[in-house]
Chains A and B, each alone.
Chain A
């Protein structure tokens, strides 16, 4: 199956700093990628839809200025958590579809963010 690579897998940062998470589609081009957030023992919460070459579409309640998304190429989307605070600590996962003909999502391995 298709491979989605996400880095870093784990990051610990101080409160007030910014953290960038990268999501790459390794063997296919992804015009659309999705960013999810997951709290312990909870399901995936869609944060935003990242569109190559255009602005991301954010879900209601997600702060655009807090979670910056850049989808500069067909194989790379980045999520930057700006001025991180302890409440931003969470598991962040990106995903992508291979093509319009293939409905399933392929997920990155996730990033565990801990803000001290």
Chain B
């Protein structure tokens, strides 16, 4: 079966750094994605990793280790507007366009 795990909730302080972890067990692997979703809104794309290593994009970075089935999203210089759910998603197979989403991590940024 397909399984993607994330912590349910996290809390951090404005200006701090937070790391959101994601572990996955899927039938195959063709990329891992991070999306941000504010309450009542559609998810927006943050990052994509297909090879091992760190991808940096402004305040957000994402890391992937395929051998460990593990990824993390790193958010620096937290702002109040970063309070949202962060969804980890995996595309299991090259022959399908399916994307499997994790349960999401609700991040609360406190002043």
Q: Residue A93 contacts which of B42, B50, B96, B106 (CB distance < 8 angstroms)?
A: B42
Closest to B43 in A: A107
Inter-subunit contact B99/A105 (CB<8 Å) = yes
- What's the A-B contact tally at a CB cutoff of 8 Å? 54
Task: Tell me the minimal C-beta distance from A93 to chain B in angstroms.
Answer: 6
Task: Tell me the minimal C-beta distance from B68 to chain A in angstroms.
Answer: 21
With A49-B97, A103-B48 as contacts: A42 and B103 at CB distance below 8 Å: yes
Inter-subunit contact B45/A46 (CB<8 Å) = no
Interface of A is mostly: strand
With the chains together, A106 CA to B33 CA distance in Å? 12
- In this complex, the interface size class of chain A, counting residues with CB under 8 Å from chain B, is 20 to 34
Interface of B is mostly: loop
A-B contact pairs, 27 of them (CB 8 A): A6-B42, A32-B97, A34-B98, A34-B99, A42-B103, A43-B101, A43-B102, A43-B104, A44-B43, A44-B87, A45-B101, A46-B99, A46-B100, A46-B101, A49-B96, A93-B43, A97-B97, A103-B30, A103-B48, A104-B33, A107-B43, A108-B42, A109-B42, A110-B40, A110-B41, A110-B42, A112-B40
